[in-house]
Amino acid sequence: MSQWIGTSNQTYAPYAIEELRRLLPGASFTQLAAGEVFMMECPMEREEVLALIREREPIFLRHIQPVDRSMRVSGSAADLEGLSEMIRNARLMFMDKRTAVHIRRNVKSAFHYSASDTKALLDAVLEEWDAEPVVQQPEVVISIYAADDQLYVGFAPPADMLSDWPGGAVRFQREEGQVSRAKFKLLEAERTFGLQYSDYRSAVDIGAAPGGWTSLLLERGLRVTAIDPADMHPSLLSHPLLTHLKQNASDAKLPLQGFDLLVCDMSWSPMLMSRLVLDLKESLKEGADAIVTVKLMHRKPLQTIREVMERLSTAFHVRKAKQLFHNREEITLHLRKK
């Protein structure tokens, strides 16, 4: 038997729960924050659950935290004292390890202490036992979720939680002169799919305007062909590695096997996007990668995703499908040309 806190993007918890029901027979679920955070109780032990999630990672599950400890909270100073004592008693989990403390609160939680105050207190406790409090690249994470009247605490490496960010909420700092926030989506895809854009040489960006994704690829040194009848951002137009084809992608004449990366973030229907990507497959080198978003335009996202992946799998291996933190009414696919 094991307990978990699961997190999805806002409103998508029902789909994450449906995926987990299919993956983990006998699991039961309780809502903690409407449409986003839920408790899962599973008859399987922790390692069996993790093995199944690693093998078939749910698309809509952004973050999962084991529940190793729990305590009732009242809104008094005793809450912090009890949490400190709980961490001291679990010291074998993180002695001599780089340890991060992640705290999230339900808006109705009786636990009123800020994340920064709670972290400062627990960092001091960690230092008592020769653990190294860190923010980045931890070996183990102390993940705390403050529900209405309970604290749920779990200890695990970040890979077992699917993210090294609290609740899987990946935050990037906006840069001066940034073309668009869409850049964050492509940055998160790089981390999630284990890619390095600087390893590629030439990319085609379908539906590129105003150029958020193109700008990131240019920064990484790629030669980019951006296709869109709309205008690109003025800051990109003089870039020596950019070619802008101001036309519809379906009309573009591209060189055979000219690109080792395709990216596509168009607001088209999933079937139209799939057809366009398949039509462009001959312009991609063998083994080329593709990062594409799938817009979820009706009430059956799991069915839509299944149909899109079946269609694209005629020419591509679907490496991973994930709803990223920076996705909204969509998911992102990582494909590799067969």
Active-site positions read 295
Angle between helices 270-279 and 301-312 (to 10 degrees): 10
DSSP state, residue 261: E
Backbone angles phi, psi at 179, to 5 degrees: -65, -45
Structure tokens that stand for 151 in this block = 């604290």
For the beta sheet containing 242-245, the strands, ordered from the edge strand earlier in sequence to the opposite edge, are 242-245, 223-227, 202-206, 259-264, 284-295, 330-337, 316-322
Count helices and strands in the chain by DSSP H and E runs = 8, 16
Q: Are strands 223-227 and 242-245 parallel, antiparallel or unpaired?
A: parallel
Which element (helix H / strand E) includes 70?
A: strand 69-72
Q: What are phi and psi of 105, to 5 degrees?
A: -125, 135
The CA radius of gyration of the chain, in Å to the nearest whole number, is 22
What DSSP string describes 23-85?
HSTT-EEEEEETTTEEEEEESS-HHHHHHHHHHT--SS--EEEE--EEEE--SSTHHHHHHHH
Query: Is the N-terminal amide bond of 210 cis, ω within 30° of 0?
Result: yes
Q: How far is 259 from 274, CA to CA, in rounded Å?
A: 18
Q: What angle do CA 189, 235, 243 make, to 5 degrees?
A: 70
Burial string for 103-120 (b: 16+ CB within 10 Å, else e) reads bbbbeebbbebeeeebbe
Structure tokens at 140: 């183990």
Question: Positive or negative, the Cα torsion across 235, 238, 242, 243?
Answer: positive
CB atoms under 10 Å from CB of 176, counted, come to 4
Q: Which two tokens stand for residue 69?
A: 């400890």
